[in-house]
Each structure stands twice: as C-alpha cells, then as structure tokens.
Chains A and B, each alone.
Chain A
Amino acid sequence: MEAVRDATLRVDEGDYVAVVGPSGSGKSTLLSVIGCLDRPTSGRYRLTGIDVGDLSDGELAALRGRRVGFVFQAFHLLQHRSALENVEVGLLYNRTPRKRRRWMAREALERVGLGHRLEFPPRHLSGGEQQRVAIARAIAPRPSLLLCDEPTGNLDSKTSEAILGLFDELQADGLTLMVVTHDPQVSRHAHRVVEIVDGIVSEAS
C-alpha cells in the first residue's frame, strides 16, 4: 500500500513548514520518512545531502539522533526522571560524553525558559512545561531539522500560543521547523503550508 505518492518536497535551511491534511491522509508516513524513522519504499529522500536509502538501521538511527529533533503530541517524557535527565536522553545515543550531555541539556532547558525546573519530574510540571522539556530534548543535540507531530494537540490555546512563540524564536535563531498539524492556529505561524490529501502533496503559495 502506498500512503504517499509522487511527493516532491524541498525544505531549505531555516524554513518553517506546516504540513496539514485530514487524518489518514499519509501525514504520519511522510513524517516517518522525513524523520528518518523509515526509508521510502521508492524514490529518494536526502537529509542535508545524505541519501537515507543507503543507510543501515544503525546508521539511520545515528542520523536521526544528530540531525532530527522530534516533538510529539504526547510529549513522551520518562515519568520517573527529572527534566534534566529527560533532556539528556536526547543526547544519550549520539556519542556525546556524559559531562557534556549534562551541560548541553542544561543549556537547552534554559533556552526554552525552564532553567528553574531542572530537577522537577514531569508530573510536577504543567502540560506546557512538559512540552517545553520535550522541545529542549529535541533541540539539545542541535539538530538540522525540528520535526513536530501535533505539538499543541494536548494543550489549551493560551499554552499553545506560548509554545508557538517559542517555535518562532527558534526559527529566528536559524532552526529549520516542520510541523504536522490540523490546527489552523499552528499553520498560521508557518511560512509555508504543505497540504496532503490521500497521499498527494501540494503546496499552497
């Protein structure tokens, strides 16, 4: 079964792209290919010039560990670890020495405005704060691409707006952002909006 067909999409450094479309339209397939979680069954996908079709499972894992940061609707924080430890997990598998991991995690948490919550476990944080921890985890390895899957799906509109403001700041710092969403509030912040319907990708200009 082909979930996505004939998709030609070029995302440049510093772009802020929203991917919209009804559920079941192939968004998650596109997400897994772009996030290097899976290889395309046909066609080619290049991330910063590297063709992922050539890579082994371990190399693919290494590539997404360094080049792609993920932010999910469900946050996916480890409940029994502190905010700092959760961010350190984002650096665990990409050959960053232990001390440097701690330092980079602290810096990322300060960047998202949680420098005062380092030792808090997720259950003592609000939903918005938890998503900030998840964003810190995603940006800590200094990825080329921040890939967000319904990042505001579990948040109220006020908190969502704060998160989207953070995205704007990160984009202004030069980070490339791609946000999969069906929330118009999110897509309004994006510079480009890509629509996907029944596996067909089209871009509104």
Chain B
Amino acid sequence: MRSRRRDGSVGRSRLWLRDLVSEATAGLLARPSRTALTVLGTVLGISALVATLGLARTAGSQIVGQFDALQATSVTVENRTEGFFGSGPQISRIPWDAEARLVRLNGVVAAGTITRVDTGGELVRSVPINDPLGQSEFAVDVYAASPGLFDAIGATLTTGRFFDDGHDTRRDPVAVLGPGAARRLNITRVDQQPAIFVGDTTLVVVGIIDDVRREPVLLDAVVIPEGTARRLFGLTAPAKVAIRTELGAARLIGGQAAVALAPNEPAELRVVVPPEPRAVQEAVESDVNTLFLVLGAVALLVGAIGIANVTLVSVLERVGEIGLRRAVGAARRHIAAQFLAESAAMGLIGGIVGASLGVLVVVAVSATQQWTPVLDLRVPLAAPLVGAVIGLVAGLYPSWRAASLEPVDALRGGA
C-alpha cells in the first residue's frame, strides 16, 4: 500500500483533492464573518461588471429595436444642393416618374416624391369670402406628392381617402389635409366635399390624415397631387423621394436608387440610408461600457487586495496550525495549496454572488425601464471563473509566505 522508494524510504506525502477542499472549507468557515467581508469586494466588482455588460447589451438592443421598427426600412433621396424646394430656377435631378422607376427595384415596397409648393405667399382659407370679424386665413404649407408617397411614409387616414394616380394624371384640384391643417381650417368631415382656397385656387378636400411615420411636416400641411401642383402652381421638379423598403433591403436600395433616378449623374443625388444596426449597437455599448467597466475593474482590484490582505493576516494568525500541519506530514506545497484554495474559494464565492447580483440588477433596471433584459450567457458563467482566478492570484504571496515558514519556528511561535 505504501510506496517505498530507494533504501526503504517512504514516498512523498500527499493530500487528496477532496481533503484539500474540505480543509479549505473548514478554514473559511472557522471565521465566517471575516470571510464574508473579504468576499464583499469581489462581489461588488463582479456584480458591477456583470451589470454593466448586461445593461449595455440590454440598452443597445432596445435602441436597435426602435431603429428596426421605424428607420431600418427608410431611404430618402434628395438633390445634393440644398436651399430650394420645387419651383426655383435650380435644376432638379429627380425625374417626374421617380415613383415608377423606384417601385421596379426589387426590395422597394413603396416610393413617392414630396415637394414643397411655392404658392407665392398666398394664405389658405376654408370659406370663399373673407370674414373680417374672425380669422379665417392661415399660412399653411402646401406640399405636392406623388400618390405612392402616402404608403411610403406610412400615412394613415382619419377620414376620406388619399388621392390616386387618376387624380394625379387628370391634375384634379383635390387635396389631403394633415390633421393640424384640418383643425385650423375647421374641417372634420369630407363626405360633403368641403373646399379650401389657396389664394384664388379652389381645392376639394378628399381626405384627412391621422398620422405619418415619416415626413412629419405633412401633419400641418395641405397635400396636393404633383400633376395638380404643376398645373396650378408651376411646379418644375420633385425635390425629394421617400422610399420604404423590405426589411434589410435599405442599404441595397440606397446603392441603387441614385442610379435608377439619375443614370447620367447619380453623384448629384444625396441618398440617406439608415445606419447599420450593428454599428449603432456597438457605438452605444462602447459609450456606456467604458466608465462602468473601469469602475468594475477598480472594484475587482480592491477586492483582490482585500483577499490578499486577509489571507496574509490569516497566515500570520495560523502560524501554529501551519507548524502542526508540517509536523504531521504536510510538505510545503500542501500548505501553499491550502491557502491558495482558501483564497480561490473566496474569489469563487465572490464571483458567484456577484454574478447573481449583477443579473438581478440587469433584470430590475430592465423591469423599471420596460426593457427586455438581454444578457450574453457567457458573462454570468465566466464571472465565477474570473473571481476564482482573482482569488488565486491574490493568494499567491500569502501562501508562499505560509509555505516558507520553518516548522520549528512556526510551532514555537504560534499559539
């Protein structure tokens, strides 16, 4: 059973792993409150790190989620030179059939032009005569749109209908009102075909918008068909194109739209595509993370110093125990192993408790913000390991001190 070496000498003494674990556990439980306080630093550090990583990930996902819902399918095309809308002397590169050209592209759900109409400063009123007693004339913007615009910007109606290709082609004097404009002009129903007057021009209101997802200027405007604007107000060219794409097709369409609209000089058009979701997420995460990661790292460093300190004090207090263990057959490495195991166990406990607290923080903050908590599973799983490694490193010097004690001195010095 006993391995004998050389001239009958007994082999080396040994300590089984299971015994090492139970000795280390007993050592930690001998002073439970001290162990708990020592672990606290690591708990704070690890929980700060886990919570930071989790919250950054969670917040990043929420923002990206909003972008997904609204902007990831939005592409707009404008003339590169800004300042003029519509009827100025400037040459627009956007053709009248922009809508037809764009919906042919695979991935475009809807497209439409939108152009501000220069009415020459004329005010808009809903009664044919000027009432001197009450205000009946308003400075309301007039916009020309192609029929597909309403779908492209996600417009919804309160009542009535949008104008269509027929109105546009026939250049009918019809208008759709934004909710703000309708309120000011005191128009709530369209079944009686109410009329509004832009200067001397009469327009029949066919619908009232409820809300739009994009181009909020239309909420307070009079929208007329593009053909009508050309006939009545001398519109020379569309100024802007709004495109709604399939999910994920926005960047592809962004690359194709300019060529489709102005094959000869695509560079003259400015295409605005939504930012890459991943880039947004990374930007948000790195902003939020840096500060808290630094704080967490500082807390971990303090925790490690705490473990090192307490383990060193423990070594000095347990000099007698160390001497005794040496006397009953422990080699230096067994003493070192025991103190390393104790400090690593403290780090491990700190890591487990810290990871749990960090996850709780992420869930609690998400609950108050009504976010969906998102956590990389590897973070809480790696946290106990990080804690154990920190404890192990912190225990290196104290356990070396313990192992290098001479047993005779230890036995006579300790109580």
B123 CB to nearest A CB, Å: 92
Q: Is B398 an interface residue (CB 8 A)?
A: no
Give Cα A123–Cα B327 distance, bound, in whole angstroms. 22
Q: How many residues of A contact B (CB 8 A)?
A: 43
Chain B contacts for A72, CB-based, 8 A: 324, 411
Give Cα A98–Cα B20 distance, bound, in whole angstroms. 12
Cβ contact within 8 Å between A92 and B408: no
Cβ contact within 8 Å between B331 and A61: yes
Chain A contacts for B10, CB-based, 8 A: 50, 59, 62-63, 66-67
Chain A contacts for B211, CB-based, 8 A: none
Cβ contact within 8 Å between A62 and B13: yes
Give Cα A68–Cα B2 distance, bound, in whole angstroms. 16
Question: Do A38 and B406 contact each other (CB < 8 Å), given the known contacts A92-B23, A98-B18?
Answer: yes
Chain B contacts for A64, CB-based, 8 A: 327-329
Chain A contacts for B324, CB-based, 8 A: 70, 72, 76, 89
Q: Is A157 an interface residue (CB 8 A)?
A: no
Q: Is B220 an interface residue (CB 8 A)?
A: no
Cβ contact within 8 Å between A50 and B328: no
Cβ contact within 8 Å between B14 and A50: no
Cβ contact within 8 Å between B328 and A90: yes
Chain B contacts for A202, CB-based, 8 A: none
Chain B contacts for A81, CB-based, 8 A: 26
A33 CB to nearest B CB, Å: 10
Cβ contact within 8 Å between B329 and A62: yes
Contact of B13 among A32, A61, A68, A78 (CB under 8 A): A61
Cβ contact within 8 Å between A80 and B327: no
Q: Is A43 an interface residue (CB 8 A)?
A: no
Q: Is A54 an interface residue (CB 8 A)?
A: yes
Interface positions of B from 276 to 335, Cβ below 8 Å from A: 320-321, 323-334
The prevalent SS among residues of A at the interface is mixed
Chain A contacts for B411, CB-based, 8 A: 37, 70, 72, 74, 76, 149
Which residue in chain B gives the minimum CB-CB distance to A77?
B324
Question: Do A70 and B14 contact each other (CB < 8 Å), given the known contacts A59-B9, A76-B411?
Answer: no
Which residue in chain B gives the minimum CB-CB distance to A94?
B329
Give Cα A103–Cα B324 distance, bound, in whole angstroms. 21
Give Cα A34–Cα B18 distance, bound, in whole angstroms. 32
Chain A contacts for B11, CB-based, 8 A: 59, 62
Cβ contact within 8 Å between B26 and A80: yes
Q: Is B166 an interface residue (CB 8 A)?
A: no
Interface centre among A31, A49, A63, A81 (most CB of B within 10 A): A63
Question: Do A62 and B7 contact each other (CB < 8 Å), given the known contacts A76-B320, A76-B321, A94-B329?
Answer: no
Q: Is B8 an interface residue (CB 8 A)?
A: yes
Chain A contacts for B333, CB-based, 8 A: 58
**Sample of 18 A–B contacts (CB below 8 Å):** A37-B408, A38-B406, A38-B408, A49-B7, A49-B8, A56-B12, A61-B326, A61-B331, A63-B10, A65-B13, A65-B328, A70-B411, A74-B320, A74-B415, A78-B30, A80-B29, A93-B334, A95-B2
List A residues at the B interface (Cβ < 8 Å).
28, 31-32, 35, 37-38, 49-51, 54-59, 61-68, 70, 72, 74, 76, 78-81, 85, 89-95, 98, 137, 141, 149
Question: 5 smallest A-B Cβ distances: which pairs?
Answer: A65-B329, A93-B329, A62-B13, A58-B12, A80-B30
14 additional A-B pairs beyond A50-B7, A95-B13, beta carbons within 8 Å, are A32-B408, A35-B327, A37-B406, A37-B411, A56-B12, A58-B331, A61-B13, A62-B10, A66-B10, A67-B10, A72-B411, A80-B29, A93-B329, A95-B1
